[in-house]
Structure 1
Amino acid sequence: MPRMNTSIKTVDAYIQMQPDTLQPVLENIRKTILEHAPEAIESISYGMPVYKLNKKPLVYFGAFKKHIGFFATPKTHEAFQSRLSSYKQGKGSVQFPINKPIPYALITDMVKFRLNSVK
């Protein structure tokens, strides 16, 4: 799966280019984000879906070979450190393994946290 495919222009196109088994997961992540941030603007940046509010990035997500990357901010990840502790992390990113249930409630809480940061 390409990490930074600059030919992708929409989230629909991004999701459709992923393996069939991942498409429902990505759609659910998308739905979760938009359900809690309906005013967020959806686009592609760095070759993956991004959601912006007031022209500031809210969250990104991306499909990788063995995980779904979810990118908020280092401050968000610090706030959720205990709930993220079982996942591989980077500065402002977390990897949700595709062979385990995706923590949609955690994604919801992180999106809500970010909403308070960008308003």
Structure 2
Amino acid sequence: MDSVDEALAAIKNPQRTCLQRIVAVARDAAPEAVAGTSYGMPVLKVDGKPLIGFTVSARHLSVHPFSPAVIDRLRATLDGFALSKGTVRFTPEHTLPDEAVRELVLARRAEIRGTA
């Protein structure tokens, strides 16, 4: 079990199920990504750089693409979700659509590789 799977196993449902789906979509979009940690959170990394991470708080879940530019570029896709500089906040009841996760991952990977 890798660090992302270990972190997911420690989360209670329904948050765990929601984040497992998001991680599965991210891994599908970037199959070369490897599990790790960054800024104290579980992440998937590409080329040694954080691609996408996640956190759980009392009132919401967060996905972190580690890029204000990616958030800005996908602002229309993320309409209806709470956004900040490098974070998308949501709940299991109002979760990120698979396509939005995929777009976040692909945009961040392109940014990491300089092809954005």
TM-score band, normalised by shorter chain: 0.7 to 0.9
Task: Give the drift of 1:118.
Answer: 1.3
**Aligned counterparts, 1:1-119, within 5 A:** 10-72=3-65, 73-119=67-113
Tell me the alpha carbon deviations over residues 64-117 of structure 1, each in whole angstroms, 9 at most, x when there is no partner: 222220111100001011122311111011101222243221011111111211
CA RMSD of aligned residues (A): 1.6
Q: Distance in 1 between matches of 2:98 and 2:80?
A: 15
- Segments of structure 1 that go 5 or more residues without pairing to the other structure are 1-8
Identity of aligned residues (%): 26
Unaligned residue ranges in structure 2 (runs of 5+): none
Whole-Å Cα distance in 2 between the matches of residues 43 and 101 of structure 1? 23
TM-score by length of 1: 0.83
Distance 1:24 1:89 in 2: 22
Output one character per residue of 1:38-62: Cα deviation in whole Å (capped at 9) or x when no partner: 1111112333221111111111112
Contact 1:49 1:60 in 2 (8 A): yes
Q: How many residues are matched? A: 111
CA distance in 2, matches of 1:66, 1:98: 10
- What corresponds to 1:3 in structure 2? none
User: Is the contact made by 2:52 and 2:63 (CA closer than 8 Å) also made in structure 1?
Assistant: yes
